[in-house]
Structure 1
Amino acid sequence: MSSLSILSGGAAQGLVGSLAARFKEKTGLDIGGDFGAVGAMADRLRAGTPTDMLILTSVLIATLAKEGLADGVSAKNVGRVETALAVRESDPLASAPDAASLRKVFLAADAIFVPDTKASTAGIHVAKVLAQLGIADEVASHLKIYPNGATAMRHMAETDAKHPVGCTQATEIIATKGIRLSGALPKGCELATTYTAAITAKAKHPREAQILIDLLTAADQAGARERAGFLSL
């Protein structure tokens, strides 16, 4: 059976999954999605990976449209996603109302689970925050870096570390069993990223891609977006 091929940031995986059955009912297609660091997904498109649709940061979608790889006219914003702290369900919440508290949270952790610090939106930001807090070298040996936030959170859920903490996008935290959201990063360290969906320039299924974009951004799906961790624009 044919499927809709998408390249997406890991932030949208839970939301797309929640709409898969409804999408198949409307189109007869499954969703063949790859979810990961947005930079890596963009590079895969540039390398020629057959793709019908993208869900990436608004900045990347605009760049890919300028490169002739994405249809800018089809682009629609899905919502904003905050970079946040995560703890295991069995652990107490990590309180970080300000930068000083966040610094203490990271220093107290014996393992810090994060996505790719060079290709993922949240990972790049975490590296920046650790440098900003003046503790990048001090916590370097505790960093557990994975290709994307979803993978980092799954490993965190299974870790035998005594005091682990995670930092990635809220959507990836919410979607991971055994992990709970412990709050967004505090003022001065915060990041809220806008995600945008668009049809690719060489889409094999542009009509079906448009249907999924409409589902992702529909007014009656506001609750689903909120539950998945997307904030309204």
Structure 2
Amino acid sequence: MTTLNILSGGAAQGLVGSLSQTFKAQSGFDIMGEFGAVGIMADKLRKGTPADIVILTATLLAKLAEEKLIVAATISDVGLVETALAVRTGDPQATVRDAADLREALLASDAIFVPDTKASTAGIHVANVLQQLSIADEVAARLRIFPNGATAMRELAASEARRPIGCTQSTEIISTNGVTLSGSLPPGCELATMYTAGISTAAAHLQQAQGLIDLLTGAGQLEQRKRTGFISGRG
């Protein structure tokens, strides 16, 4: 079976997975993907990892287009993704209305599960928020940092901590069994990131790559994008 190679931020993994069978029925292609921290995925593309389609933050994909690694004319918005809080399924929800509530919730947790704080969109933001709330040093020993949000959420689901909490992209929370979305970050601490898709300049399957972008971003998949955690986008 012919495959379409994809490099993507973890935020889009649930959406891509949910549409893989539809794409296969339309194109005859399977999707072979790597999903992870956006910075790491961008570096994989720069180092020559084969990719037909790339899904990353709008800022990063535009930079890759400037580097002639992405065909600029093919870039399309998939949608906005919020950085949000997660708890183990069955644990009490974290009620966070403002920055003070968030500070209290994080201080009350004995384990804080997050993605890479240097290479992932959500992880970088979490590190900044901890500094903003003046608790970075206080909670440093409680941070449980993983290569990407999907792994962080699986580890949260399996955690035996007394009161763990997680923070990553809402899409990664929604697509992970055993954790529950516990709301967006409050005003002043929030982050909504636009994710975009584009075709690699080294793509081997241009027609199928464009077909997947059309499927991911088209009006017909608006409800599916919402179900997987995207809050806006074309369509």
Normalised by the length of structure 1, the TM-score is 0.99
Whichever residue aligns with residue 109 of structure 2, its letter is A
Q: Tell me how far 1:2 sits from its aligned partner.
A: 2.0
Counterpart AA for 2:216: L
Q: Percent identical across equivalent pairs?
A: 64
Q: Alpha-carbon deviations, 1:135-181, whole Å to 9, x = none?
A: 00000000000000000000000010010000000000000001010
TM-superposed CA distance for 1:184, in Å, is: 0.4
Matched, 1:124 2:116: no
Matches within 5 A, 1:76-225: 76-225=76-225
For 1:53, the equivalent position in structure 2 comes to: 53
Match of 2:231, SS? coil
How far does residue 206 in structure 1 lie from its aligned partner after superposition? 1.0
For structure 2, list consecutive stretches of 5 or more residues without a partner in the other structure: none
User: What does residue 39 of structure 1 align with?
Assistant: 39
Partner secondary structure for residue 56 of structure 2: strand
| Letter paired with 1:223 | E
For residues 175 and 26 of structure 1, the distance between their equivalents in structure 2, rounded to whole angstroms, comes to 24
Kindly report the root-mean-square deviation, in angstroms, between the aligned alpha carbons of the 2 structures: 0.5
Is residue 67 of structure 2 the alignment partner of residue 67 of structure 1?
yes
SS at match of 1:14: helix
Amino acid in the other structure paired with 1:40: I
In the other structure, the counterpart of 2:227 is 227
SS at the partner of 1:96?
A: coil
Q: Distance in 2 between matches of 1:134 and 1:105?
A: 14
Q: How far apart, in 2, do the equivalents of 1:131 and 1:108 lie?
A: 17
Q: CA deviation at 1:26?
A: 1.0
**Deviation readout 1:6-47 (Å, 9 max, x if unpaired):** 000000000000000010011111100100000000000000
Q: Which residue of structure 2 lines up, in the alignment, with residue 14 of structure 1?
A: 14
Q: Secondary structure at the match of 2:49?
A: coil
TM-score (norm 2): 0.98
Q: How far off its partner does 1:232 sit?
A: 1.0
Displacement of 1:67 in angstroms is: 0.2
| Count of aligned residue pairs for this structure pair | 233
Aligned-pair CA distance for 1:90: 1.2
Provide Cα deviations, 1:86-131, integer angstroms capped at 9, x if missing partner.
0011101001110000000000000000000000000000000000
Alpha-carbon shift at residue 83 of structure 1 (Å): 0.2
Output the CA distance in 2 between the equivalents of 1:28 and 1:12.
21
Give the residue type in structure 2 aligned to 1:142. R
Which amino acid counterpart does residue 28 of structure 2 have in structure 1?
G
Task: Give runs of ≥4 in structure 1 deviating > 4 Å.
Answer: none
